[in-house]
């Protein structure tokens, strides 16, 4: 099938309607003849061709890129020229067909009428161009915003991996002299973790897979903290298949250990709870703290908390949230993520 542009369709409809209106008007005044019928068809064809040539001139001279004042001035002048040209063709056609020329006082009325017609054509055309341009700009803006969000998420992800590697290597370094066998086991463990995190390129993964990463990480940390680190999890089965940002749980658990458990001589507990509430997934990370040494400012609690908050904002906008609260000797991070939400980015 031949695809006809919207412009051609509107042109044909507009000038066709103009011809039909004139023919109907002549019919109602009992003035319709074959010659009048053909004249109106020819006048519509003239209008189509003249306006089409005018449009070509507009595009060739890039009028849409000109300042508004210049554009208005050009349009007003062009409309006057189009009106004169159209009227000359009209009277030439009457002369060739030996039709009686109208009274002199009707020339001005005819010129004004045609001027209004072309002014209306300009109004419709430039309004349409403005709307199309605005729509394209909006689409490009959305694409740019999406690309920027992808870039931000990639940047956060690229910062997360070295941060995780650095902390894990520190744990292994402490074991090399004390227990080489444990150090070798830890190196094997971290290689498995890195293989998983580096090859995983998606913005989100299931809670179940992220839990596996957390448990591998905790195996490394337990080597360093031994009996000082306890981990408790209460996972609602229905939450295991829910998509969450990759590495978010691991960074929050790491944050809880670094800013909570490591400051306690006797160690403490990190608790992970998940459940669904309405249309949201609720994740709680609770850890023991030294209330006397703990700062209540979020920006003092490490990269994990700030990066997680930023990623939730980028992926889910205002539909997800992360909050930090303190309850005596515990810090509670509460995360709310919408279920079955199409995220803004898929390739962090």
How many folded domains does the chain comprise? 2
Helical (H) or strand (E) element with 206:
strand 204-206
| Domain encompassing residue 38 | 6-140
Q: Is 166 helix (H, G, I), strand (E, B) or coil?
A: helix
The pLDDT, as a whole number, for residue 179 is 75
Question: pLDDT by residue (tens digit) across 11-66?
Answer: 888 888 888 988 888 888 887 778 888 888 888 899 899 999 999 999 888 888 88
Question: pLDDT by residue (tens digit) across 262-279?
Answer: 888 888 999 999 999 989
Mark whether 219 and 321 lie in a shared domain: yes
Local confidence band at 235 (pLDDT 50, 70, 90 cut-offs): very high
Residue 314 has pLDDT above 90, yes or no: no
| 296 in any annotated domain | yes
Residue 230 has pLDDT above 50, yes or no: yes
Mark whether 163 and 244 lie in a shared domain: yes
Q: Which domain-ending residue is among 106, 140, 174?
A: 140
Helical (H) or strand (E) element with 229:
strand 229-235
Q: What is the CATH number of the domain that holds 201?
A: 3.30.565.10
| 94 in any annotated domain | yes
Mark whether 130 and 238 lie in a shared domain: no
| 347 in any annotated domain | no
Helix ranges (H only) for the chain are: 6-28, 34-60, 68-96, 106-178, 180-199, 207-225, 248-259, 303-316
| 334 in any annotated domain | yes
- Contact yes or no for 115/84 (Cβ under 8 A): no
Q: Which domain-ending residue is among 80, 106, 140?
A: 140
Q: Which domain-ending residue is among 84, 109, 140?
A: 140
The pLDDT, as a whole number, for residue 197 is 66
Residue 348 has pLDDT above 50, yes or no: no
Question: pLDDT by residue (tens digit) across 26-38?
Answer: 888 887 778 888 8
The pLDDT, as a whole number, for residue 208 is 93
């Amino acid at each position: 099938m031949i695809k006809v542009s919207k412009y051609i369709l509107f042109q044909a409809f507009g000038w066709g309607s103009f011809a039909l209106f004139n023919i109907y008007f002549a019919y109602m005044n009992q003035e319709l003849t074959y010659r009048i019928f053909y004249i109106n068809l020819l006048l519509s064809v003239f209008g189509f061709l003249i306006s089409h040539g005018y449009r070509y001139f507009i595009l060739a001279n890039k009028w849409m890129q000109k300042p508004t004042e210049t554009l208005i001035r050009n349009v007003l002048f062009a409309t006057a020229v189009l009106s004169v040209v159209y009227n000359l063709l009209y009277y030439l056609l009457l002369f060739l067909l030996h039709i009686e020329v109208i009274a002199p006082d009707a020339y001005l009325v005819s010129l004004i009428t045609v001027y209004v017609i072309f002014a209306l054509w300009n109004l419709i055309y430039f309004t349409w161009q403005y709307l199309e341009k605005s729509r394209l700009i909006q689409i490009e803006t959305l694409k740019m915003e999406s690309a920027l969000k992808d870039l931000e998420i990639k940047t956060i992800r690229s910062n997360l991996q070295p941060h995780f590697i650095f902390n894990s290597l520190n744990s292994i370094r402490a074991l090399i002299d004390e227990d080489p066998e444990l150090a070798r086991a830890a190196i094997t463990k971290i290689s498995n973790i890195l293989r998983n995190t580096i090859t995983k390129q998606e913005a989100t993964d299931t809670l179940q897979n992220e839990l596996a990463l957390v448990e591998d990480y905790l195996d490394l940390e337990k080597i360093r903290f031994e009996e000082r680190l306890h981990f408790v999890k209460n996972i609602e089965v229905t939450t295991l298949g829910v998509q969450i940002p990759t590495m978010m749980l691991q960074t929050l658990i790491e944050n809880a250990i670094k800013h909570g458990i490591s400051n306690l001589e006797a160690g403490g507990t990190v608790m992970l709870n998940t459940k669904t509430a309405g249309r949201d997934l609720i994740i709680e990370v609770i850890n023991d703290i030294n209330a006397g040494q703990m700062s209540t400012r979020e920006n003092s609690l490490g990269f994990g908390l700030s990066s997680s908050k930023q990623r939730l904002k980028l992926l889910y906008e205002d539909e997800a949230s992360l909050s930090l609260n303190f309850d005596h000797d515990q810090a509670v991070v509460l995360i709310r993520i919408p279920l079955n939400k199409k995220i803004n980015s898929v390739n962090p």
